[in-house]
Structure 1
């Protein structure tokens, strides 16, 4: 999970992105102090959220950014294919949707879920985005990454975008979400990424399409359908993305609109069969929206070149925090995702307190040594 650092005067650490902007690392949980809890965080004066088997979740109002309820919001877990939301959000503005490409054999041979790309056919970039978000095509994810200039560049772009969004729990190692050591995200970050995606008309078009024709060799085509079952089951469902691997278990982030208001729900580490639970969480979000004090908020993206603030707005005093329970053991990749994986680029010291810097450096090293999971 996130590592809380007690600031000495105005001390702030920053993270340098390769070839990009350096953004400061926040010293309190992004979105509010209460969101640092591993337990349930829910408002008073309204009914509690429905029960779910998800280890971690967030329910938020996409319009206001208010987090309505959460559990282990910043817990870092393997994201599986929900990471494709970051892939799409990063690459949609960079690639001409009408550009035609012929995928490499490497892209076509990607393991896991696939749309069935072949080097014998050329595809529009928008075909690949549909395959990515509707069919969860790992082959489409790699083809898009290669079109963007290669895997290394795309990973750098995706991680830079995550930092810009203040999705600090997210570390992308693959464009598809296939498990890889060092990769992680959180329910908070998935909600943050989805909210940003909802502001992009092309993103919304890809996630909300139920069925589409997909190119095949010799000028033919076949039909693909969206894996998000709630597009057929839930009134007002906009879409977004589900994911699953054996190590990550099930994950999902979705958004629905009713009466001009949009609710976002994200879940991580669910044993499966979550569709009805997500629908109930969405129902709860619509029922309490505007009636209860938020427990936190989805923060806005950072302006280019500006550091993140040292402090985030704390959750309202009316929030009820249920004592945390120890979460189940995570995959080794997720356990290794703590502050020690981030390169500390620079330190700004307020008041000239050199002693404070040395003390904090020593404290952080001890903290990191103890906090691996």
Structure 2
């Protein structure tokens, strides 16, 4: 009995002494060392990026992948409807855009923003993608998920796509972005996902359409894109905005000028961010090619690497990364909302807690083994 018990107890003791994990500690954050900071990360030698009330943001060159400036880029926050960007990137290659769909009552009755799907009408898949990215239709998100086979399959596909893109801060729990426990993304990931979408012509067409005729049970009606910058900002391509009371405002957008595309993502903004995004885009165009990047939007993983262990982004509670030459790092005032509880734990509290739990399990298994041994030694009556 004891020879069988020792390996189990040794494993528990090992897990307890390593803080309750059986994997290696995270290494360099995805995109570069400086992007591990929760404060402002900006290049030196050029004017600083304009101020923003967003808790987190990223300004990047979508063509080269160079991150030009960032604030808490890997902080994990509720994404709201910006998560629909991942829904589109995942499902556009999987679904025939000319396929006709009659949505379920479940899809038509989704809460929150909706395009107004009816179970009595038939829609093309491309109509549903327009509704998803233009009108932020939660009903369209569910209809697309069900067209892909099922909600469960779609969530699995979306999270697999996030891993392929190395959007490791992103956990999708809904196809619409409606708040759900455990769901998260980051400003870095939103920029990364948007960049992947911009490479797809259908994605670009859906996000850049200002108005479109949308099918109804009898005839059509007009829908309009929620991205106000399509009317206000020269060269705006589009992408997606979002809002819930818990997530607050979020946005990811891209614009092209002079043959170059800049992408900006923001998270957890109190609202009224359009002018700030405009200023961040202007700043991005003004400094691109004139300064060293502070990080990089990484390329997707090759298929052969998907089964291998992946590099992790900065762990919750990690200290601010030290600045590289040509990079200014400003400490953050507070950690991300979803990381607050984890960041309040110190190494000592994690270790003590793990030792208490691990030690209790170890003692319990030893005592169980002792009792079984004694029981085996008793004569049977």
Shared fold (TM-score, shorter chain, > 0.5): yes
SS at match of 2:130: helix
Bigger-Rg structure (1/2): 2
Partner of 2:330: 322
Post-superposition Cα deviations, 1:22-63, rounded to whole Å, max 9, x if no partner, equal xxx962210001001011000000000001100000000000
Higher helix fraction: Structure 1 or Structure 2? 2
Q: What is the CA distance between 1:323 and its match in structure 2?
A: 1.9
Q: Unaligned regions of 5+ residues in structure 2, if any? A: 1-17, 314-321, 355-381
Partner of 2:286: 287
Judge conservation of contact 1:114–1:136 (CA < 8 Å) in 2.
Answer: yes
Partner of 2:122: 122
CA distance in 2, matches of 1:168, 1:193: 11
Q: What is the CA distance between 1:206 and its match in structure 2?
A: 0.2
1:310/1:80 Cα in 2 relative to 1: closer, same or farther (>3 Å)? Answer: closer
Q: What is the CA distance between 1:174 and its match in structure 2?
A: 0.1
Partner of 2:362: none
Post-superposition Cα deviations, 1:240-285, rounded to whole Å, max 9, x if no partner, equal 0000000000000000000000000000000000000000000000
Q: What is the CA distance between 1:324 and its match in structure 2?
A: 2.0
Q: Unaligned regions of 5+ residues in structure 1, if any? A: 1-7, 15-24, 340-361
Partner of 1:152: 152
**Residues 46-125 of structure 1: pairs in structure 2 closer than 5 A:** 46-125=46-125
Q: TM-score, normalised by structure 1?
A: 0.82
**Residues 1-373 of structure 1: pairs in structure 2 closer than 5 A:** 13=23, 27-218=27-218, 220-306=219-305, 307=308, 316-327=324-335, 330=337, 334-335=338-339, 366=351
CA distance in 2, matches of 1:175, 1:98: 21
Over 6 Å off, 4+ runs: 336-339, 362-365
CA distance in 2, matches of 1:89, 1:231: 20
1:38/1:223 Cα in 2 relative to 1: closer, same or farther (>3 Å)? Answer: same
Q: What is the CA distance between 1:161 and its match in structure 2?
A: 0.2
Judge conservation of contact 1:26–1:309 (CA < 8 Å) in 2.
Answer: no
Q: What is the CA distance between 1:366 and its match in structure 2?
A: 3.9
Q: What is the CA distance between 1:305 and its match in structure 2?
A: 2.5
Post-superposition Cα deviations, 1:57-91, rounded to whole Å, max 9, x if no partner, equal 00000000000000000000000000000000000
SS at match of 1:305: helix
Judge conservation of contact 2:323–2:329 (CA < 8 Å) in 1.
Answer: no
1:327/1:309 Cα in 2 relative to 1: closer, same or farther (>3 Å)? Answer: closer
CA RMSD of aligned residues (A): 2.6
Judge conservation of contact 1:37–1:73 (CA < 8 Å) in 2.
Answer: yes
1:69/1:145 Cα in 2 relative to 1: closer, same or farther (>3 Å)? Answer: same
SS at match of 2:85: helix
Judge conservation of contact 2:89–2:197 (CA < 8 Å) in 1.
Answer: yes
1:257/1:308 Cα in 2 relative to 1: closer, same or farther (>3 Å)? Answer: farther
Partner of 2:368: none
Q: What is the CA distance between 1:365 and its match in structure 2?
A: 6.4
